Amino acid sequence: MKNKRVLYALLVLALAGTSACAQERDSGTDGAIGSEQRTEPSGVPASGQNPEGSVGASGPVSAKLTRVFEGTSVDRPTAIEARADRIYVTEQAGRIVALRTDEADEGGETETVLDLTDRVYAEGSEQGLLGLAFDPNHEDNGFVYVNYTTQTHTVIARHRMPKDGQAAAGGGNDGTVLLTFKQPYANHNGGQLAFGPDGYLYIGTGDGGSGGDPQGNGQDKQSLLGKILRIDVGKTDGDKAYAIPADNPFAKGGGAKEIYAYGLRNPWRFSFDAESGELWAADVGQNQFEEIDIIVRGGNYGWNLKEAEVCFEPASGCEAEAAQAVVIDPIWSYGREEGQSVTGGYVYRGEAITGLAGRYVYGDYGSGAIWALKKMTDGRYGNELLLQSEMNITTFGRDVQGELYLTSAEGELYRLDPK
């Protein structure tokens, strides 16, 4: 594993010498899910941050990673969800597999509970089965929702998966397509699905790909790309298999009705704080910065006018336009000296790790670092390095007790435990 990390670091350094223009032309599909290599940062600090990067008076947190389901691996894992006594992992090629949590420390075996490989296109490194969410009424209706790519489109679909985790009988794989939209390039597909405290389904979409958002989708309020979408899957509206929540920002006009927030580049994992309901998103950067955002209804997060706090298009002098567009800067960002591709996690609400409660745990695919981010009493955010994983982190997950898991690009599963 350590040799792979060294090789990856050398690859990043080699790629750092390429020009930004060359990267703009590149489709960006040579890396793994959630990963991108870009040029070196300018070193501009993010506003509102604790320059020391510590978490202040609350002190450091001691944590470690424990390999779970040892001896079992999954193929190119992209998402983790949990229900009752099972953990569900999506595989990029199109399968959803289940593992029993009571076997986590004993090895365990995977069981395929939904196979969508006949319709999922996963040839590109950022394509495939990317997201999974369980219906809030899953115990009664057995519904799950998936986010996957075909060769040309993103598809949001509903399928049946009984609560016992067994594969659905009687055509359960047929599913119902709720929403589909064209992807102009193979990369930047987002992919996250999650139900919010309001019962609506939230969908993360990338800007459509290539590099630099050449079509301007992030700021285009008529496009579904570069957004967080929100739909009501419990209702239908005319020929749509879903309805629009009445308080969506553009429900009455001015933009696509499905949009909840916009100005995102490629949100690779978002999650709701189980206690406060806040929506946290990690947005993968272009040339300089990775960012963490707290998403609010109608919020504009700046891409591609800005990358984090810095002008991107135009490269300078964007301040007046950003102010007019009411751009919301990230609560935290970091540059290439710390990582290359952010992987979003969760606000920790478990009980196993003393001192971690209320902190947003996230990582970086390229550097393998895992951090904890916390809002301090003065309103700024402090960031603490929890550990160096020495792996490529593809996704985080949370079990029903609030404990956190992650997967590596090699298909191994780990749990975050007290040290």
Residue 7 pLDDT exceeds 90: no
CB neighbourhood size of 222 (10 A): 10
DSSP string, 349-376: --SSSTT-TTPEEEEETTT-EEEEEEE-
Per-residue pLDDT reduced to its tens digit, 206-221: 999 999 999 999 999 9
**CA 275 – CA 124 distance, rounded (Å):** 37
CATH topology of domain 2-51+76-347: Neuraminidase (2.120.10)
398: β partners: 404
**What's the pTM value of the predicted model, to 2 decimals?**
0.88
Structure tokens at 318: 């964007």
C-alpha 230: how far from its chain's center?
Answer: 16
C-alpha 339: how far from its chain's center?
Answer: 16
Per-residue pLDDT reduced to its tens digit, 136-151: 999 999 999 999 999 9
Kindly list the distances between the CA atom of residue 386 and the CA atoms of 353, 356, 418, in Å, as whole numbers in the listed order. 12, 10, 11
**CA 80 – CA 97 distance, rounded (Å):** 10
Domain boundaries, the chain: 2-51+76-347
Residue 5 pLDDT exceeds 90: no
Residue 170 pLDDT exceeds 80: no
State residue 71's pLDDT score.
83
Per-residue pLDDT reduced to its tens digit, 181-203: 999 999 999 999 999 999 999 99
**CA 263 – CA 204 distance, rounded (Å):** 12
Spatial strand order of the sheet with 259-262 comes to: 193-195, 201-204, 227-231, 259-262
Kindly list the distances between the CA atom of residue 358 and the CA atoms of 52, 217, 275, 402, in Å, as whole numbers in the listed order. 20, 33, 9, 11
Per-residue pLDDT reduced to its tens digit, 232-263: 999 999 999 999 999 999 999 999 999 999 99
User: Pick the residue with more confidence: 11 or 291?
Assistant: 291
Spatial strand order of the sheet with 381-388 comes to: 342-347, 360-364, 369-375, 381-388
Q: What percent of the chain has pLDDT over 90?
A: 78
Per-residue pLDDT reduced to its tens digit, 355-385: 999 999 999 999 999 999 999 999 999 999 9
